[in-house]
Every structure is written in structure tokens, then in C-alpha cells.
Homo-oligomer: A and B are copies of this chain.
């Protein structure tokens, strides 16, 4: 099976396949039309700081669900799911260092862990594609280019750091439509935070992203920047919590709601 074979499956079927280890790869394209989410799991002691940070920086940190301490079921977005088994790959962190990359986290689950699910760009990329706007890194079959900016997030407790942005080159005449079609989704990063002029936000070389892969910007295209879900993870890891678990890049949690459930108009 390929990811595309799961495009028409329900989120529950996809999660079951992942739980059964029938699928261990990236989730892009699975259960098409349904929201996928970034995962951050922290001890309760760190959950408040993380939540305040998210509230103060809603564009890079759109929180979709928060579990009760010790409970691995995200009741708001996937009743019956189990966050310990229903993602294909995880990353386990100790004091900000990556220590393991398991396919489930049954053995390291604890009663004091709180899981946060955060919106990811897959939702608004679907909106761009639906609006007839090309998404370059999908065309290229590579990861989206991401950049550390000179925009400082509003700090909260032990968490602080720069905003990380993702970039998509958009034909100049389609930039307004790209703004409006993603602005409909404020719960999943929403409208761009910057359009054109990368140097203004501290990007020295657009061809050398800090994360992901470079993509070509063609004649007549403008680089458009959206707040990126890597921002909270980077701020978190920089502050070195004793223990944390995240999804492995690209290996997201498939939620029940549809992308359109997060559109405000």
C-alpha cells in the first residue's frame, strides 16, 4: 500500500492501520480532506507554559486539542483514538535532546503527560490547491522550505524563541487569492504573515532554508511566508524540558474533523 491508497479511507481506518503497524510512513495525502495535526506531549508541569505560549502566539501555535493528564485520547478531534499508538512515528526527547524515534510510545507513557495537537499546513495547502494555486514543494516532491526569522515570539514562562515561517512561491496575480483562501483558516496558521522582501524578516538567503528543502522561485512569483508549526516545537526544545514526545516530521496525527470544519467562512 502507498499513502495514496489511503486517500479515500476514513480517519478512523487510517489510525487503525497505523495502530496495527500496517502503515509506518509519512501521512501526507491520507484520509484526504481531513485535518492532520502536529503532536507535542509534555509533563503537566510544562503544560501551562506551553499553552500560554500558544495563546500569545496563535498564528504559529494553533492548538486544536489538549488531553487530560495521563489520558491518551484526544476527545475533541478523535474520540476513541489513542495518541500512544495512532501516529506512525514519534520522537522522544530528554532535556531537549532526541533520544529515540519509536513507532509507538506505549512503553514511555506516564500518568502526568499532557498531549497537545496543533494545526498543520496540510489544511491550508488543500485550500490553496482548491483555489487553483500551485504549491511548489508538492510539485517538487520535497519538504516545504522553512526559515528562522528575526520576529520574536511573545515569551511565556520558560518558553521563548523566534518565529519560524514556511515559504511558498506564488504567482504575483494569485497572491491576493492565496491570502484570502488561507485567511479563512485562522485555526490552522491562517493568512500569511509576510509577503515578498525576505530580508525584512531576517532571511539572508532564500535558497538556504533553515529546515526543509529549497524550492525554485520562478519569474513572476513572490515568496509568501506563513507562520510555521515548527515554531512552538523549536521554542520548547530550546528550553530543554526533562521529557517530551513529538511526532516525527511528516508523520502526523490524522483527526476526524474535515479541513472545512476549521474554515470560518
Q: Residues on A close to B: CB < 8 A?
A: 47-48, 51-52, 55-56, 63, 66, 68, 75-76, 154, 156-157, 180, 183, 186, 190-191, 264-265
Give the oligomeric copy count: 2
Q: Pick from B51, B157, B180, B191: contact of A51, CB below 8 A.
A: B51
What's the minimum C-beta distance from A64 to chain B, rounded to whole angstroms? 9
User: A75 vs B48: C-alpha distance in the bound complex, in angstroms?
Assistant: 18
Complex Cα gap A55–B63 (Å): 7
Instruction: Provide the bound-state CA to CA distance between A191 and B76, in Å.
Output: 21
Is B55 in contact with A66, judged by CB distance below 8 angstroms?
Answer: yes
Whether the pair B76, A154 counts as a contact (CB closer than 8 A) is yes
Known interface pairs A76-B154, A154-B76. Does A264 touch B190 (Cβ–Cβ under 8 Å)?
yes
Contacts known (A190-B264, A265-B180); A76 close to B51, Cβ less than 8 A: no
Chain B residues, Cβ within 8 Å of A265: 180, 183, 191
- Least CB distance, A138 to chain B, in whole angstroms: 25
Q: Within the complex, what minimum Cβ distance (angstroms) separates A136 from chain B?
A: 25
Besides the contacts A51-B52, A183-B264, A183-B265, what 14 more A-B pairs have beta carbons closer than 8 Å? A48-B48, A48-B51, A51-B51, A51-B55, A55-B63, A55-B66, A56-B66, A66-B156, A68-B157, A76-B154, A180-B265, A186-B264, A190-B264, A264-B264
